[in-house]
Structure 1
Amino acid sequence: MGAKTTAAPAIKLDTLSDVNDLGKPWKFDDEDTGLHVTRSCVWSPPGCHPVGCGVKLYVDDDGKLVKVEGDENHPVTQGRLCMRCIALKDYIYNPSRVTKPMKRDRKYRGQADKWEECSMDEALSLIEENYWKTVKEHGFESVLVYTGTGRDGGVTSGSNLASMVFNTPNYCYTQSGYACYLPRMAASVYCSGIAYTEVDYAGTLEKRYDDPEYKVPEVIVLWGKEPLASNPDGLFGHAIIDMMKRGSKIIAVDPRVTWIANKADYHLRIRPGTDTALGMAMLDVIIKEKLYDEEFVDQYCYGFKEFAERCATMPPSKAAEICGVDEEDIIGAARMYAKADPATISWGLAVDQKTNGLQNGQVIVALTAITGNIDKPGGQLVAGAGTSVTGGENEDAEMMALARVEDPELHMKMIGMEEYPGYCGFCNNSHADLTLRALETDKPYPVRFAMLQNCNFAANSTAEPDRWIKASAEALDFCFALDCFITPSVQCAADVIIPLATTAETPTVVSVNYGATPVYRGFQNPAIKVGDCMGNAEFAYVMGSRLWPEKFENWGIHSTEDFLSHVWLGKEKFEDLAPTVLNQYDHEYFKYKKGKMRPDGGLGFATPSGRIELWSQAYEQFGDDPLPYYEEPHYSPYSDSEYMLPAYKEMYPFVLTTGARTYSFFHSENRQVPVLREINPDPIFEINPEDAKKKGVTDGMWVRVFNMFGECYLKAHLTPKVKPGVVHAQHGWWFPEEDGEAPHLFGTLRSQINNLIPNFHVGVIGFGAPFKSMICDFEPTDKNFDTDMQMIQEKFGRLD
């Protein structure tokens, strides 16, 4: 399954008007404005998951970005952009942005006034010197690469940075239980051999929805996903609207009322954390009423009898009581999904953010499988053998080998490999919770050198962030950051900062769904240069060439473009593909019938049984139950777990869910962009009006939110979007306009909802954590932390 490429003619045009024409020039002069235009597919920063939206970057004769427009030639986004892209200029030229390398002595960590500019060579030399010093004293395993979410190159290039550049097995996404995307991938791989399945929105087809091979889904299930705000993991949110206009009906599984959920035929407003019970009940209905695809089940499913018996233990009546939804709605939604031809499920972050997440993923895989919606037009889009990660043909094994250290003994030293092999071996990451333990205790060994790869752990994704802040600041002998801004994480832990280039300044490859479900492949083309900033790929090339000159020479890596080609494109060259801006992948359906889903060419799927495993041998191998089961969240009003003391039920009566996406921000980014901040100036805490009245809380009042792990201050928003008994808190908050000096650190812990989320509450295999299924209480406070937008505009400047 190669990618279609179209050579770009070397001519100038004054307009780009033909939708879906990938043969337009990638650079041209606009005669109406006199500006120079570069066509590109954006990644990050600023934050964006890998949709690869098409943009036109307009630059003046002085090399300054003047405006950003959507590229109507992009076959999927078709000129549509979110506000974060439109505000890109405000991000790039923000006065608080770091554009020169800086350093400070380790003893001044946390002190904002001790940073001083230095040359790039001095900054890189400090990194190189401290790296070899650490390796000599403690070994390569003492090196840690912290990574953020959705960054340049996604999951693969971060691993490449750790393995190829720093020769360490400890590449770590710092969120407890890797509770973002990877649990879904693990469930998919362990149950079906497919890296990830997603809604088929005709992104691979030249004529899109009008292609004769395509069929618009009759039903789309949005399971814990709000695609309009998040455009998550490569699913362009407005594609759902496109399909709704063409007749698709919606089933929404979401405790909150979103715009799309409000348009759904069934909105299953479950109690957060109870998704697995809902999925088992829907399966019970489909199996008992024989609404499943018997031919597919007979030929391509493993363990159906045992699976059916397990699902029968969760009838709709029982699930209704657990989930807090109407029994008839569960039955109706199950029938509607099973009878649709085709039907598709888009599964979101809510699947990952619970201890029971792999089981949630298991039942979603089963729903798509037993109804025969795998790899069919308008069903679940899947990759074939050899295209599951990078998109190249027959080069995956070699390219993925670059994402782990060469020495197998060193690889096995990865933190958490012994305790959680199904986690560490799968995602090639050190286990987040155990990495925190290593920083705090030096067990299993000390960690002394670290890189913050665009990772704002103090404000964004870590549970109990105060522990990560303290451990990072105290344990590391040397730490450097690659970032656009001095974030709370940079301020508390880093000694050197390398300024990070934005999406308009550096080349990279954008692979939808990180390549797990190839749809198209975009190329980020730089249009401007700001300061001494460098992108992730450029840093990997430059630093890798300094540390390992012979290896990089042998790999043929002599430039940033060579690095991108080596880790992403195999035999293809970035410089040849970049002018095409975007390649749609050739795609065919029903690959499992043609021997194209298994590396050995056999029929079926890439699992031990060759079938989709409703009874998962992989789960059993890693010590978990091979069949799905519902587990009540460790902390809930209905839990009788060892963690839930009887008194907690009265002390913390509300179910807390966190992290629903907003239009203004991507996690902790963009708080210093006034045009975005004024849309969402304060950290919002959503409360049902009935609950607020009982607590004496009015709309716009600041409240103290607390539980047994911590507290924070948020601004109350009374809304029926959340059910009585459920509250929702925004995440990722810090205040760039405030004092950055430790311990204040831009006020990040004041409004940090993750203060209330514990580490070390993961699933049996190591995935999942209770970010969306915790308990809490709240009370009014006389404190007032209202944002002064005038001050923010004066400090950061609002650009026209």
Structure 2
Amino acid sequence: MADYQEFLDSIDREAYHAGEWQWEEDGYTVTRTYHYSPPGCHTSCGVLLYTKDGKVERVEGDPLDPCTNGKLCIKCLTLAESVNNPDRLKYPMRRAGKRGENKWERISWDEAYDEIESRVKDIWETDGGNAIICVHGTGRNINWQMPFFGQAALKTPNISTFGFTGFSCYMPRVCGCIAPFGDFTVVDASQAHEDRYGNEEWMPPEVVVVWGNEPLASNADGYVGHWLVQCVQMGTKIISIDPRLTWWGVRAEYWLQVRPGTDAALACAWLNVIIAEDLYDHECVDLWCAGFEELAEAVADMTPEWAAEICDLDAEAIRGSARLYASAKPGAIQWGLAFDQQLSAMALCLAGCDLMAVCGNVDVPGGNILVHNAFECNAGYASGEDFTPPEWRAKKLNNNFALSIEGGDFVAHASSDGLLQAIEDGFPYPIKMMWIQSSNTLSCPSQDAPRVMHAMQKIPFIVNADPYMTPTSVALADLVLPVAMSAERNSARTWWTPARAMVKVASYYEAESDEQIIVELGRRLNPEVFGRWENDIDFVNWYLHDGTGSFSATTEATSQGGAKNSGKTLFKPSWEELVRDPRMLGHAYDAFNATYRKAAKGMFREDGSVGYGTPSGRLELAPALFKYWGLSTTPFHTEPPESPISTPELMEKYPLVLTCGGRSFEFFHSEHRQLPTMRELHPQPQVLVNPQTAERYGIEDGRWVWVENDHGRFKQVAKVTPVVNEHTVHAEHGWWFPESEPTAPYLFGTFESNPNNCTKAFVAGQGGVGSPIKAMVCKIYPVQEGDILPHEQIADGGNFPWYEKEPSPRQDEIERFHEALAAGMEYDVLKNQLIDPGTGKRTDLKTGKEVAAG
């Protein structure tokens, strides 16, 4: 496909029914639409769904779809296997025994809604909506629906992922580039243009830095990995920065096998080289950047030699790769989850943005373009917050409120650690209900998973809406609700561009779509808001047309000077138009994203003036918002808390660096483990071990091994391979075994192979952002017959025998809080003050000093 026009000319458009959204073919009804989760994926590909008698029989890629040009990965190709899987939840069910017994009784949707409505209203009356937590899974097409539902229907400000310290998935990158740039940035692989690689303005990047991710397996963050393969075919050179040798590293000009958790040191050294050797783009820096002198001073001593010792790299490789990136016109950086999952998360994100800016690669063809969600349909955690009563909204468990972290409110959603603290300790107030929508909390996001499970057992009422019965459902849920899959829902989503629609073509028993559940339950809980929508399509149309005023990725970025994007587009498609209009057929591109050099054209500023959507109007190399958020305004490296440098004595017992979370082609986080095809291709969890390491520790390829650290352990099958070095092992995340025993304590084996047994809550980077879960330490040794299994140790003692619980940052206050309540004192949540009911005397809980009343 290197010649895109040749590819387009080769398509038999008549055979693929150009201009039609649905047709009959060989006894099938064929629907041209898009797949979005569930089942999971981070992006949305154009598909042709072949259905018969209301059942999905076959899936093909749509070559007329400009997003993916007919290419599909195995997750889409096995969609029929997913939607027709007999293990799916078929009906709403109520727990009929104790949590963990897996005993259920079938109930109707009305019975489920009645119970939820009654419970929610009771909590409103006694504790307020802030005592409810609303959780959803990653990448789902519920990123706009769930925050709105939580805040407008459940009336809780506590919307979040859960168990996930430091906002350490995507949010650091989102906020980390909104502050210096005013909008989010992605590599320009022509995806903003409907005519794609044939667009006259577009050019392929000369160099792409694939940093901390594997785009082909992950297709992460609305980005399709094979777009970059096309660029490589058109001459793009690769720099790969990754502890693993990936497809990109094999083809790279430089493969920098960085020690996990030290990427920020490498980024600072690149900046040092580019500035010291005068390789930066003077015109861009002079005309469009602010803070250059401050940045230059900050990285002046961060030489390649300095970084080489930290990163386990060759100084000349650092220097040479920096020169290659700086010389590219244009160059681009494709960043991944590794940016978020280390203590230097925000510093690393800022360094990445600084590199893009000083090299003149921002918002130019083939560089890192600045984008917003098509037609301003901005999914965000602030969605619906105006419908939460102010007195409940004020108690949102963000980092600042729950954990007393200095600086402005970082993001619009609640802090995962703040939620854990409230559940465990009832501080600053207890949690009475949790709503979980399509999140296998125990198996995937929960750091210190056993701890999270024991905490969640304290919550009186938990609802879990999911396509499958999961370990989370069995261990914790009181009600389970069956969720429809992508082919069974009417929906729409924008994750940058284009806007894409999904069409319901099948049904599965009584499973209902996320939109149906939200509208039906919302009409019961807040009819003034949700009564305007008769059905799911009405709700989707509101999102596409009218909902933009309630959406933002981060209220702080907007209110403190982030991009004011009003007026970018006049046309807003309806769901019906997206689906059926021959000009769209499932997708619509927003011209804003396809426009280059928007700052010079006055497209970022509310008044139409030249400049970026930042307080200064420039690309802020030392951003003012970082100062407001309590963050360093220049990049730096923070050593992982356990590493060869920070804890050399601990390395004597745990001599290897443990990294985890690399994506596979078969699975999306904890999903797809039920599918025969996926398990045939990938039957067991694999830990990658270098041959020298395997020989040293008696590890055999294909044999089960223990991976253990000072917090916990898990077992996976060793894959002996040179793709990791002898100092590092790489484990897979998200594993559970749906074919195994579901009841407690085994719970589908969710603890047996879970690297989260070895992670820690409450260990975060500056500002409470970032977590070192990709840079732990460990030892490995063979599994022996008769070894005690993780689920047995957790059942016997609550966790592993050598486990030490990481305390909350406010542990001293929590102890004083409980002592005071036991002594009859009262607590003012918002002021963090204890009140003597007899005298009215107030004491500051943090300092223990008396304060004036009022």
| TM, length-normalised to structure 2 | 0.84
2:413 to 416, 424, 429: 429
**Do residues 415 (structure 1) and 416 (structure 2) align?**
no
Amino acid at match of 2:620: E
Deviation at 1:207, TM superposition (A): 2.4
Distance 1:573 1:429 in 2: 28
Instruction: Give the match for residue 138 of structure 1.
Output: 127
CA deviation vs aligned residue, 1:187-209 (integer Å, no higher than 9, x gap): 11122211x21111111223211
Q: Superposition pairs for residues 497-646 of structure 1, below 5 Å?
A: 497-512=480-495, 518-553=496-531, 556-570=532-546, 572-579=573-580, 580-586=585-591, 587-639=594-646, 644=647
CA deviation vs aligned residue, 1:241-260 (integer Å, no higher than 9, x gap): 11111010101111100112
Query: Structure 1 pair 704/400, CA: closer, same or farther in 2 (3 Å)?
Result: closer
Q: Tell me if the contact between 1:134 and 1:448 (Cα under 8 Å) persists in the aligned partners.
A: yes
Query: Structure 1 pair 360/22, CA: closer, same or farther in 2 (3 Å)?
Result: farther
CA deviation vs aligned residue, 1:255-299 (integer Å, no higher than 9, x gap): 100112111111111000111111111111111111111111112
Amino acid at match of 2:315: E
Distance 2:404 2:614 in 1: 20
Deviation at 1:780, TM superposition (A): 1.2
Distance 2:667 2:451 in 1: 25
Instruction: Give the match for residue 795 of structure 1.
Output: none
CA RMSD of aligned residues (A): 2.1
Distance 1:687 1:434 in 2: 36
Instruction: Give the match for residue 89 of structure 2.
Output: 98
2:214 to 214, 226, 245: 226
Amino acid at match of 2:389: D
Instruction: Give the match for residue 13 of structure 2.
Output: 18
**Do residues 445 (structure 1) and 396 (structure 2) align?**
no
Deviation at 1:538, TM superposition (A): 1.7
**Do residues 43 (structure 1) and 36 (structure 2) align?**
yes
Amino acid at match of 1:685: V
Q: Tell me if the contact between 1:597 and 1:605 (Cα under 8 Å) persists in the aligned partners.
A: yes
**Do residues 269 (structure 1) and 267 (structure 2) align?**
no
Deviates more, 1:603-612 or 1:303-312: 603-612
Query: Structure 1 pair 420/606, CA: closer, same or farther in 2 (3 Å)?
Result: farther
Distance 2:14 2:337 in 1: 32
Deviation at 1:348, TM superposition (A): 0.3
Gaps of 5+ in 1: 1-14, 513-517, 786-800
Instruction: Give the match for residue 715 of structure 2.
Output: 713
Distance 1:66 1:119 in 2: 28
| TM, length-normalised to structure 1 | 0.90
Amino acid at match of 2:367: G
Q: Tell me if the contact between 2:421 and 2:427 (Cα under 8 Å) persists in the aligned partners.
A: yes
Q: Superposition pairs for residues 167-566 of structure 1, below 5 Å?
A: 167-174=155-162, 175-194=164-183, 196-383=184-371, 388=372, 390-392=373-375, 401-403=383-385, 405-416=387-398, 417-418=400-401, 419=403, 425-473=409-457, 475-512=458-495, 518-553=496-531, 556-566=532-542
Q: Tell me if the contact between 2:500 and 2:578 (Cα under 8 Å) persists in the aligned partners.
A: no
Distance 1:700 1:97 in 2: 31
CA deviation vs aligned residue, 1:448-498 (integer Å, no higher than 9, x gap): 11111101110001100111111112x211111110111001111111111
Q: Tell me if the contact between 1:19 and 1:78 (Cα under 8 Å) persists in the aligned partners.
A: no
Q: What secondary structure does 1:233 align onto?
A: coil
Deviation at 1:399, TM superposition (A): 11
Q: Tell me if the contact between 2:147 and 2:380 (Cα under 8 Å) persists in the aligned partners.
A: no
CA deviation vs aligned residue, 1:580-626 (integer Å, no higher than 9, x gap): 21112212110011221123433222222222221122222222221
Instruction: Give the match for residue 57 of structure 1.
Output: 49
Q: What secondary structure does 1:205 align onto?
A: coil
Instruction: Give the match for residue 662 of structure 1.
Output: 664
Which protein has greater RCO, CA pairs closer than 8 Å, 6+ apart?
A: 1
Deviation at 1:420, TM superposition (A): 6.6
Deviation at 1:551, TM superposition (A): 2.1
Distance 1:422 1:696 in 2: 48
Q: What secondary structure does 1:593 align onto?
A: coil
Amino acid at match of 1:42: H
Deviates more, 1:422-431 or 1:724-733: 422-431
Q: Tell me if the contact between 2:160 and 2:415 (Cα under 8 Å) persists in the aligned partners.
A: yes
Q: Tell me if the contact between 2:149 and 2:384 (Cα under 8 Å) persists in the aligned partners.
A: no
Query: Structure 1 pair 401/108, CA: closer, same or farther in 2 (3 Å)?
Result: closer
Query: Structure 1 pair 784/499, CA: closer, same or farther in 2 (3 Å)?
Result: farther
Q: Tell me if the contact between 2:151 and 2:383 (Cα under 8 Å) persists in the aligned partners.
A: no
Deviates more, 1:209-218 or 1:611-620: 611-620
Query: Structure 1 pair 139/177, CA: closer, same or farther in 2 (3 Å)?
Result: same
Query: Structure 1 pair 239/339, CA: closer, same or farther in 2 (3 Å)?
Result: same
Q: What secondary structure does 1:333 align onto?
A: helix
1:749 to 748, 751, 754: 751
Query: Structure 1 pair 762/399, CA: closer, same or farther in 2 (3 Å)?
Result: closer
Query: Structure 1 pair 621/566, CA: closer, same or farther in 2 (3 Å)?
Result: same
Query: Structure 1 pair 397/182, CA: closer, same or farther in 2 (3 Å)?
Result: closer
CA deviation vs aligned residue, 1:490-542 (integer Å, no higher than 9, x gap): 11111111100001100111323xxxxx3211111111111111121221111
Q: What secondary structure does 1:606 align onto?
A: coil
Paired residues, number: 744
CA deviation vs aligned residue, 1:142-181 (integer Å, no higher than 9, x gap): 0111211111133x32211211221100011122112111
Q: Tell me if the contact between 1:448 and 1:477 (Cα under 8 Å) persists in the aligned partners.
A: yes
Q: Tell me if the contact between 2:522 and 2:530 (Cα under 8 Å) persists in the aligned partners.
A: yes
Distance 1:334 1:157 in 2: 42
1:79 to 60, 66, 70: 70
Amino acid at match of 2:45: C
Query: Structure 1 pair 596/341, CA: closer, same or farther in 2 (3 Å)?
Result: same
Deviation at 1:307, TM superposition (A): 0.5
Q: What secondary structure does 1:54 align onto?
A: strand
Distance 2:471 2:24 in 1: 41
Deviation at 1:65, TM superposition (A): 1.1
Query: Structure 1 pair 128/527, CA: closer, same or farther in 2 (3 Å)?
Result: same
Q: Tell me if the contact between 1:733 and 1:752 (Cα under 8 Å) persists in the aligned partners.
A: yes
Amino acid at match of 2:598: K
CA deviation vs aligned residue, 1:2-59 (integer Å, no higher than 9, x gap): xxxxxxxxxxxxx9943999962111111xx210011111110111002x10011101
Gaps of 5+ in 2: 1-9, 547-571, 788-854
Deviation at 1:756, TM superposition (A): 0.4
Amino acid at match of 2:502: Q
Distance 2:380 2:254 in 1: 45
Q: Tell me if the contact between 2:709 and 2:777 (Cα under 8 Å) persists in the aligned partners.
A: yes
Instruction: Give the match for residue 117 of structure 1.
Output: 106
Amino acid at match of 2:518: A
Distance 1:424 1:57 in 2: 47
Q: What secondary structure does 2:41 align onto?
A: coil
Distance 2:542 2:437 in 1: 20
Amino acid at match of 2:394: M
Q: Tell me if the contact between 1:203 and 1:584 (Cα under 8 Å) persists in the aligned partners.
A: no
Query: Structure 1 pair 536/746, CA: closer, same or farther in 2 (3 Å)?
Result: same
